[in-house]
Structure 1
Amino acid sequence: MASKGDLTKARLAESMLELIQTSGYSGTGLNAVIEHAEAPRGSIYFHFPEGKEGLGVAAVELAAQRFEALIVEAAADAGGPAEAVRHAIEALTTIVAESDFRLGCPVSVVTLEMGAESERLRQACATAFESWISPTAAFLEASGVAPDEAHSLATVVVSTIEGAVIVSRALRSTQPLESAADVVAELIDQRCQTPGGTR
């Protein structure tokens, strides 16, 4: 069973994650996190001695874990990689639409805002993206795509989804995500139908 301290730490990371999604990293202050998490005032520096940067890393790691779980779940439930990617994009589309286009990917938000300012945050974001690329590549490889091609294709898939989320929020429309699902699924089908995963 988690201790009271562990629960407070998790609540702080969860609050940071939610606030990054709605207000951005720069727009999220520590006082707002404390209030959102309903945590004791001194708890942030107790659990995150590095302050906001350490809390930001924890939020990015939490986001990474959740989307990785979504990818793994989609892969387990789908009949093939193209269908799995469709399922994952549909889940993201629902999240974005139901939030009235206020929620996006916190990892891309932190990358854009802090990638050039904090090496620690940049590395956390890089690790997060790779944690999504790797299981996607493994699924593609298991479907017959050559290893190098699988990682390259998985990188394109994740990058396309990230871009589609941003454009969907800007346009306040799910069309970019829906189009991304169609194009990515078609690309995956082409690669999987080609011997060795190459043209």
Structure 2
Amino acid sequence: MGNKGERTQTRMVESMLELIQTQGYTGAGLNAVTEHARVPKGSIYFHFPGGKATLGARAVELAAQQLSDQLAEAMANAESPRDVVESMVTALIEMLVESDYRLGCPVSVVTLDASERSEVLRTACAVAFDSWITTLADYLETQRHPRPQAWAMATTIVTSLEGTVILCRAHRSVEALRDTAAVLGSILDHASSQTEALR
């Protein structure tokens, strides 16, 4: 798994990501990161000369990759676009319940908490959201949806789920995610039936 320096960087990025999820970007102080990652305090600026913003951007990139991997698995096992959404929602429900509603999407957290103060963070968040939308849009194209429609539906899926997770944390209930899954599933089923009718 790489050399010692790479392993140290990985631990710090993983710690930053976990702290962002539980404490927000502002609450994820550098001292907390080094303590959580069990590394010397000077390690942050040695490995991340740009400081907290650079480390935060790397954490956002890691979060983006983790969800992209989940999406890839969901799409590989799906029989329909509805299955992909239901798989994503199941994973989100598990995350919320198992964390007692403490964990949410770290990309949303950073976007709301710090992106206005750092172009590095804003860009990392934008790239993360775009990567998920693109992945979903590409999949929907394989299901014979035209590119404009696929992109619009993918954007709707990502934005709906992101917003619903926030609502679920506020209410400490996952019912909104189940409702969102049902509505998105109906929209996708309808779009798929229209696409089949035009073939």
Cα distance, 1:116 vs structure 2: 1.6
How big is the shift at 1:37? 0.3
Instruction: Show the counterpart of 2:51.
Output: 51
Total equivalences in the alignment: 198
**How does 1:12-161 map onto structure 2 within 5 Å?**
12-161=12-161
Question: Which sections of structure 2, spanning at least 5 residues, go unmatched?
Answer: none
Cα distance in 1 for partners of 2:54, 2:90 equals 32
Q: 1:134 to 1:196 in 2, by over 3 A?
A: farther
The residue aligned with 1:188 is 188
Distance in 1 between residues matched to 2:29 and 2:184, nearest whole Å: 37
3-state SS in 1 of match to 2:27:
coil
SS of the equivalent of 1:144 reads: coil
Gaps of 5+ in 1: none
Q: Distance in 2 between matches of 1:13 and 1:119?
A: 19
Q: What amino acid is the match of 1:148?
A: P
Q: In structure 2, do the counterparts of structure 1 residues 158 and 19 end up closer, same or farther at CA, with 3 Å as the change threshold?
A: same
Deviation at 1:52? 0.3
Measure the CA separation in 1 of the matches of 2:7 and 2:40: 12
Give the conservation status (yes or no) of the 8 Å contact 1:137–1:153.
yes
TM-score normalised per structure 1: 0.96
Question: 1:145, 1:197 within 8 Å by CA — same for their partners in 2?
Answer: no
Question: TM-score scaled by structure 2?
Answer: 0.96
